[in-house]
Homo-oligomer: A and B are copies of this chain.
């Protein structure tokens, strides 16, 4: 990795800071987060401001620049990378270490009394803004909005904002027209007595209008804002993108310039009851007078979107089935090729992309393929690197976490395989991960259960042996949308796998979440077994107080490698679950393999799904 010399850049930035506040006065410090104006998880190149100013290219981190200091906060996944990439202008602040101050604590220590701290109000969620504002105020400092973005002012040759083609999804893929969705939202608005609803998350907007694009890698979204009134719908977007077809698809939508959202809100909504999301930017939320804000922590669009309708469910199932065909072909290919010693982490990832791209309605990957051999697998967010490619070894565990976007659904599946002879220890760890996967996949639970209540089920068998994993157990999955989709999930406790934050949302029939316990031994191996699960109504023997009970159905149907299982650690119910699951792989994926002309892979599937 190369080190970027940031000296000149910081000088320019500090110069801008002298008149950097929106009010035109100096700011003593600016905070540059890793985010865009829509609080997206993945960023477009034009939004990589923190990477640009600091030189640190990891996905998570926050830069803070004062008149004489520059510091970068990141978490344990990135300490090594940050140390390598940052030049001597920067101090590295290792989050999670005992003596590392928070950004607020550090600012209060280094700033002169009554300082101004500037942040681009588009890049901080309203809730994060309030938190920092309170912490600074306690010590006599003020959090202020910067005028435009100060990093942008010093960023020469900044990449343009993306403007990819909009794709119209027909009703047979969405199950619900955009008008119907808007009508549902208006009914909720009427109940709340809201006059306006502001939608800022890009996947919410894509879902709402049944449109997709490719503005952000892996996420089929487009940059836009939406404001819904009781009798009007407003879309804020680069107007050049609206082809006649798209215009025809949005007959009753008033289109505005993307950048005009704030002035629109100020002029039309500021003094009327307006429904906002605390995850929206401070700029958006503060454009409405406080007493008119109706703020919820989840947008009503995301609450609707996470419960898939029947068409979306069928799409997700179908996409997972095609994905399973590609994965079976891929793992079968690996079994043949790895022993030859010619497969690398990158070439393997490329092969899996090749197989996927041959499936109907394939659009793109849904995230960067984690193709990792041995020690690489222990790095939870590993990406194989073409500049430092590693062989996939026959005598190591191979972990592959991958997924794709199809026109009808999104996939995310992890399998851990061994192409030689696993050790007893590897088998014990794999089997305990599998037991956890099965415990969550087979639980029955009453209406009202929140995802995090179930997290322990996926861990308890590891705990029994003194093992654990430091990431969440599952996240929501979009339907031809973001692979990490809020607000549902099964997180509990601390996680260094920061994707979708655990939330207080009840599990409902139609939700799709992942079940992905793991175990990682630093420097040695990683194990993870991940399927997407569809939540559905359960038929139970009894029915306590008329409560509805739910259960999951695994919709990813890819064999779980049996040579890694220590059967003596499984109980009868777990063996039965595995055999039923593998029979479903045979029944559903088998015919698809034969019809696709993949006879050898079909034989592989049958062998890999023998009852145990």
Contact = CB atoms under 8 A, between A and B. Distances in A.
A547 interface: yes
A379 interface: no
Nearest to A548: B466
A494 B454 CA distance: 16
Contact of A549 (B446, B466, B545): B466
Please tell me how many copies of the chain the complex holds: 2
The CB with the most chain B CB atoms within 10 A, among A453, A538, A545, is that of: A453
A544 B456 contact: no
28 contacts: A443-B460, A443-B463, A443-B464, A444-B460, A444-B464, A445-B456, A445-B460, A445-B463, A446-B468, A448-B493, A453-B455, A453-B492, A453-B493, A454-B456, A456-B456, A457-B460, A465-B540, A466-B540, A466-B541, A466-B542, A466-B543, A466-B547, A466-B549, A467-B544, A468-B544, A468-B545, A470-B545, A571-B572
The CB with the most chain B CB atoms within 10 A, among A445, A454, A466, A540, is that of: A466
Contacts of A464: 443-444, 540
The CB with the most chain B CB atoms within 10 A, among A456, A457, A494, A571, is that of: A456
Contacts of A456: 445, 453-454, 456-457
A467 B464 CA distance: 27
Interface of A: 443-446, 448-450, 453-457, 460, 462-468, 470, 492-494, 538, 540-545, 547, 549, 571-573
A446 B456 CA distance: 11
Nearest to A456: B453
Contacts of A449: 493
A465 B541 contact: yes
Nearest to A492: B453
A543 to B, nearest CB: 5
| Pairs of residues from A and B, 3 with the lowest C-beta to C-beta distance, nearest first | A466-B540, A466-B542, A465-B541
Contacts of A542: 465-467
Contacts of A573: 571
A460 B438 CA distance: 14
Contacts of A538: 466
A590 B238 CA distance: 82
Contact of A544 (B444, B466, B571): B466
A497 to B, nearest CB: 15
A209 B464 CA distance: 39
A438 to B, nearest CB: 13
A446 B460 contact: no
A462 B444 CA distance: 9
Contacts of A541: 465-466
Contacts of A448: 493-494
Contacts of A446: 463, 468
Nearest to A439: B460
Contacts of A572: 571
A539 to B, nearest CB: 9
The CB with the most chain B CB atoms within 10 A, among A446, A448, A462, A543, is that of: A446
Contacts of A444: 460, 463-464, 466
A57 B454 CA distance: 39
Nearest to A539: B466
A432 to B, nearest CB: 10
A427 to B, nearest CB: 14
A64 B453 CA distance: 36
B468 A547 contact: yes
A493 B451 CA distance: 12
Nearest to A470: B545
A572 B462 CA distance: 19
